Structure 1
Amino acid sequence: MASQEPRWSHHSHHSRRSGSALTMDSLAAESDLRIISYVEVGCLALLTYDTLLNLDLEYRHIWSSKWGLIKCLYLWSRYGTFFDTSLAVLKRIDRDINLDPLKCNTLSKFITIFSGFGIGITEIILMTRTYALYGRSKKVLVFFMILWLSIGGFSIWAVINWMESVQVDPLPGISCDLYNSNDILLLCYIALLAGETVIVLLTLWKGFHTFYLVGSDAQYSHLITSFYRDGIMFYLVMLLTFIVVVVLQKRCTSSTPAHWRGTSSHHTLNFCLPLGYPCSGCCM
């Protein structure tokens, strides 16, 4: 008679496999978090480099100019980006935050909201540039207001729904992050890309129309070329960024922080590209 395998062997084998799977997940999570930390530090370094590189231009054209809406929006976008990117790095290295779920939860949500608000401000700057190309047309202004409010309202709704189902980092002490398998934030990127597609199409149309009319006016053509080139470059990099975000959203492990998949680094990218200065770096 064949000897029966002891009952405990299946349970023991299953336990070993479960323990091994848990260890693998933990290692994968730690590896993901380390990469995320490198990227966020890189974003802060890029932002610092961009600021130093353009300090002379900024002093001559921004700080020396009269105060107005565009100047305020620029300064908010420029230095507000330092704020949320620095917080993103801080929560990686501060053990008090890592070990306190309440602090982790509050800080991570604040960074997500602040970054989203900063991206919204940058979109206003992009729309203002295109609005200027159209000679401050009231129709274009009303259209952009409706577009911005629609995208902003939808994004606020999506973020609120996302926050209702987030959970604090299951690996306390390793990193402070929120986790969520909900893909609703991906819809924010789709809405953002749709809005930027509209902006770049309007820029393309006006650029083509102006080139056709201006003809040999070299100085004005150079200005329009700058607007045209910067707008297209920004859109193409944003499109590439969106594709990367989608790939990360679908392929990263379940333990990868959901809110990181594009938020603060996306804010850095959103600021560095559209302002027309020499630095056209992106961080994603």
Structure 2
Amino acid sequence: MMADRQSAIAELVIVPFMDVASATLLAYDVMIKLDVEVEHIWMRKWSFLTVVYIIQRYLPFLDGGSVLYYHFGNLTDHYCTLIFNLNAWSYVVGISLSQFILTLRVWAVWNRSISVGIGFVIFFLACWIPSYVLLAQFSRLTFGPFPITYYPDFGCFFASALPLLPFWVCWLAYDTGTFVMILIPGLKAYHKGSRSGLLKTISQDGVAYYVIMFLFILINVICTVVLPVEFRTTLMFSFARITHSLGTSRIILHIRQAAWRRAYTHETSLSQIPFTQNGHEESSSAANSLIHDHFDVSELSTQL
């Protein structure tokens, strides 16, 4: 009976608090970055990746809205199952899209190597197909009445445990692999003294992102294994989803900003090169170097 009460407290108080905080963080981040996003995403030439970016950026609003209704709506067990399954599918699809964008970014740093690309495809499928298989188990989850009879009758309460550990392990494995793949070219560029602002942005943001997400997911794995069962529900589920989307969006926006600044610097530098007769060869060499670097950076940025 005491365990049921503890589980109910986790479901009724702690988990909703985390989900409300996560939804608030999402809304806040979208508001403060809206001007940058409009300038560098919405107003630029659209591509397939632009659509993927927008979906993974705003799909968490569906997640957040449905999970808040799940907590505070007056729902039957049938609708609890329906909303939870909708949220779970949106969750995994959104994370997959974010990982897809980040994987293409890492692949671009590897100069779109065919062998690296094939490796990423195999690695992606190996880590994320099990996550979709896990969704089938979510449909078997059952909901029941709250064990605390005097609590207001709203929201949903799990009558069975969530099999979250395999999902966290797959996510952790994929982030670890992509972190290694972004770290290798980043270290090479550092040792070679690369001056490209875009490449520096990609490497620094990528390393920082993967370190933070690695630690965060590792904490979730440890909590799932160590904590009592009443705290293994969806305590950090929404927070992980939203921070993953926010991190992906921030990285892409930083890359677009760096590419734009690089292009502007390139145009300014070319206009200031003196093409005199005596210094024609040196000036042409400098111009060619700038043009070559600019095209490399521009091509890389369009893949992101």
- Matched with 1:229 is 204
Instruction: Establish whether residue 211 from structure 1 lines up as the match of residue 207 from structure 2.
Output: no
CA distance in 2, matches of 1:31, 1:158: 23
Deviation, structure 1 residue 224: 2.1
CA distance in 2, matches of 1:80, 1:230: 23
- Matched with 2:130 is 154
- Matched with 1:115 is 91
CA distance in 1, matches of 2:37, 2:11: 37
Deviation, structure 1 residue 62: 0.3
Instruction: Establish whether residue 130 from structure 1 lines up as the match of residue 130 from structure 2.
Output: no
- Matched with 2:244 is 270
Offset from partner CA, 1:85-124 (integer Å, 9 cap, x none): 11111221112x2xx1100111011111210110111100
Question: Are the structure 2 counterparts of residues 84 and 231 from structure 1 closer, same or farther at C-alpha, using a change threshold of 3 Å?
Answer: same
Question: Are the structure 2 counterparts of residues 174 and 30 from structure 1 closer, same or farther at C-alpha, using a change threshold of 3 Å?
Answer: farther
Would you say the 8 A contact 1:91–1:175 is kept in 2? yes
Deviation, structure 1 residue 31: 4.5
Task: Show the 5 A alignment for 1:72-83.
Answer: 72-83=51-62
- Matched with 2:213 is 238
Q: Number of residue pairs matched?
A: 247
Instruction: Establish whether residue 42 from structure 1 lines up as the match of residue 21 from structure 2.
Output: yes
Offset from partner CA, 1:153-173 (integer Å, 9 cap, x none): 111222323533x21144182
Deviation, structure 1 residue 223: 2.0
Deviation, structure 1 residue 256: 4.8
- Name stretches of at least 5 consecutive residues in structure 1 with no aligned partner: 1-21, 279-284
CA distance in 2, matches of 1:143, 1:245: 27
State TM-score, norm by structure 1: 0.79
CA distance in 2, matches of 1:163, 1:242: 24
Question: Are the structure 2 counterparts of residues 125 and 101 from structure 1 closer, same or farther at C-alpha, using a change threshold of 3 Å?
Answer: same
- Matched with 1:175 is 155
CA distance in 2, matches of 1:83, 1:204: 33
Would you say the 8 A contact 1:177–1:257 is kept in 2? no
Question: Are the structure 2 counterparts of residues 92 and 182 from structure 1 closer, same or farther at C-alpha, using a change threshold of 3 Å?
Answer: closer
Deviation, structure 1 residue 266: 1.6
- Structure 1 stretch displaced more, 171-180 or 135-144: 171-180
What secondary structure, in the 3-state scheme, does the structure 2 residue paired with 1:84 have? Answer: helix
Deviation, structure 1 residue 68: 1.0
Deviation, structure 1 residue 208: 1.4
Would you say the 8 A contact 2:172–2:214 is kept in 1? yes
- Matched with 1:6 is none
Question: Are the structure 2 counterparts of residues 193 and 167 from structure 1 closer, same or farther at C-alpha, using a change threshold of 3 Å?
Answer: same
AA aligned opposite 1:84: D
CA distance in 1, matches of 2:206, 2:142: 38
AA aligned opposite 1:264: S
CA distance in 2, matches of 1:261, 1:44: 14
Question: Are the structure 2 counterparts of residues 161 and 32 from structure 1 closer, same or farther at C-alpha, using a change threshold of 3 Å?
Answer: closer
Would you say the 8 A contact 2:71–2:156 is kept in 1? yes
Deviation, structure 1 residue 25: 2.9
What secondary structure, in the 3-state scheme, does the structure 2 residue paired with 1:61 have? Answer: helix
Instruction: Establish whether residue 55 from structure 1 lines up as the match of residue 34 from structure 2.
Output: yes
AA aligned opposite 1:158: L
Instruction: Establish whether residue 195 from structure 1 lines up as the match of residue 174 from structure 2.
Output: yes
AA aligned opposite 2:161: S
- Matched with 2:9 is 30
Question: Are the structure 2 counterparts of residues 93 and 68 from structure 1 closer, same or farther at C-alpha, using a change threshold of 3 Å?
Answer: same
Offset from partner CA, 1:69-98 (integer Å, 9 cap, x none): 210111001111111111111221112x2x
Question: RMSD over aligned Cα, in angstroms?
Answer: 2.2
State TM-score, norm by structure 2: 0.74
Instruction: Establish whether residue 163 from structure 1 lines up as the match of residue 139 from structure 2.
Output: yes
Deviation, structure 1 residue 253: 4.4
CA distance in 2, matches of 1:139, 1:178: 45
AA aligned opposite 2:118: V
Question: Are the structure 2 counterparts of residues 32 and 94 from structure 1 closer, same or farther at C-alpha, using a change threshold of 3 Å?
Answer: closer
Question: Are the structure 2 counterparts of residues 182 and 49 from structure 1 closer, same or farther at C-alpha, using a change threshold of 3 Å?
Answer: closer
